[in-house]
């Protein structure tokens, strides 16, 4: 068994060999004693942990089903294929530049630095796992205000945009879109994740190679969008936001179950906590 680190085995006194890749050989493992409970107790421990595995599996399946439902709703509601029953007014064909203006204000001190992610939208940079180095000062960044949408010029053709939940600063490599009174920014945030819209972003992005495409505001501004009245936009956004909230709760449940299982493993598989096993009855 090859390991990149032998620290997990080192404290147990298991000998290891190798330089860049450390190896734990079968002979080393065979020579190392381990403590195990009786077979009935092993079975009961396994059954307890399997209960948590099953709960995690079922919750993840529910998440998958709800994600598919949300995608279907987005496809239907954001294209006008399905209308909410209280709305009958025709949708308008508009240029993106008529509903979003470019915000070019310089960053301000004491505001959080935000970054666009593909899956989480616009988030605080310090919440991202990977380390991101920058030599830019606050004044070199762009100001983004709550309700704005920021997008990465080099990744908008892949759907890299996000709605600002707070005031912050972003990289000058981003474009900050300030919504007008004609557009609900939450509705637009969902619309910008629709495959059809992302295809428009790709079509209007330019670069020397496919992976170097950039969508500048002047090109974004001439993209045509089909949108309903603001009132209908808000109703659609509210419905989709409810779906997201349900998914957030389910993801939190999975995280909680995984944490509980890890704690149980630490307790049950080390003997710190024992489970009761009924003594076997002797047949006479």
Please, are residues 147 and 167 in contact by the beta-carbon 8 Å criterion? Answer: no
Q: Which of 147, 129, 218, 135 is nearest to 187 (CA)?
A: 147
**Residue 239 vs residues 54, 119, 244, 258, 265: alpha-carbon distances, Å:** 30, 19, 9, 29, 40
Q: Which of 201, 221, 182 is nearest to 99 (CA)?
A: 182
pLDDT of residue 5: 43
pLDDT of residue 1: 40
The model scores a pTM over 0.85: no
Q: Could you identify the residue written with the tokens 């912050």?
A: 168
**Residue 66 vs residues 34, 142, 258: alpha-carbon distances, Å:** 44, 36, 20
- Calpha distance 186→232 (Å, rounded): 12
Q: If 0-12 CB within 10 Å is exposed, 13-18 middle and 19+ buried, where does residue 205 land?
A: buried
Residue segments in the chain with a per-residue pLDDT below the cut of 50: 1-9, 11
Please, are residues 204 and 223 in contact by the beta-carbon 8 Å criterion? Answer: yes
Instruction: Name the token pair of 29.
Output: 């493992």
Q: Which residues are CB-neighbours of 219 under 8 A, at least 6 positions away? A: 204, 205, 206
Alpha helices in the chain (DSSP H): 7-10, 26-30, 39-77, 96-99, 185-191, 195-203, 217-220, 230-268
Domains with residue ranges and CATH for the chain: 1-34 (no CATH), 36-89+228-284 (1.10.287.1120), 92-226 (3.90.220.20)
pLDDT of residue 284: 55
User: Strands 142-144, 149-152: parallel, antiparallel or unpaired by DSSP?
Assistant: unpaired
The per-residue pLDDT for range 261-283, each reduced to its tens digit, is 999 999 999 888 888 887 766 56
pLDDT of residue 15: 52
Please, are residues 17 and 26 in contact by the beta-carbon 8 Å criterion? Answer: no
Q: In residues, how long is the chain?
A: 284
- Calpha distance 214→205 (Å, rounded): 5
92 forms beta bridges with 227
The per-residue pLDDT for range 112-149, each reduced to its tens digit, is 999 999 888 999 988 886 655 555 666 689 999 999 99
**CA quadruple 61, 64, 66, 72: dihedral, nearest 10:** -140
Please, are residues 169 and 113 in contact by the beta-carbon 8 Å criterion? Answer: yes
- Calpha distance 162→116 (Å, rounded): 6
């Amino acid at each position: 068994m090859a390991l990149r680190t032998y620290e997990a085995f080192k404290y147990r006194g298991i000998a290891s060999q190798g330089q860049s890749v450390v190896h734990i050989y079968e002979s080393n493992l065979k020579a190392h004693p381990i403590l195990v409970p009786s077979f009935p107790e092993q079975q009961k421990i396994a059954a307890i942990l399997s209960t948590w595995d099953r709960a995690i599996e079922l919750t993840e399946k529910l998440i998958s089903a709800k994600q598919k439902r949300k995608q279907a709703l987005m496809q239907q509601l954001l294209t006008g294929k399905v209308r909410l029953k209280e709305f009958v007014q025709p949708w308008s064909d508009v240029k993106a530049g008529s509903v979003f203006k470019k915000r070019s204000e310089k960053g301000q001190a004491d505001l959080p630095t935000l970054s666009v992610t593909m899956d989480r939208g616009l988030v605080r940079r310090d919440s991202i796992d990977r380390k991101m180095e920058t030599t830019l000062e606050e004044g070199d960044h762009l100001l983004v205000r709550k309700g704005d949408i920021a997008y990465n010029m080099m990744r908008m053709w892949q759907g890299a945009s996000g709605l600002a939940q707070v005031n912050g600063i972003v990289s000058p490599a981003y474009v900050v879109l300030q919504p007008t009174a004609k557009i609900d920014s939450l509705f637009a945030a969902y619309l910008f994740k629709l495959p059809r819209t992302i295809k428009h972003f790709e079509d209007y992005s330019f670069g020397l190679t496919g992976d170097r495409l950039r969508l500048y505001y002047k090109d974004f501004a001439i993209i045509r969008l089909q949108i309903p009245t603001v009132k209908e936009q808000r109703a659609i956004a509210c419905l989709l936001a409810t779906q997201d909230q349900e998914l957030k709760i389910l993801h939190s449940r999975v995280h909680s179950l995984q944490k509980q299982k890890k704690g149980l493993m630490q307790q049950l598989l080390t003997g710190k906590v024992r489970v009761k096993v009924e003594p076997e009855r002797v047949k006479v």
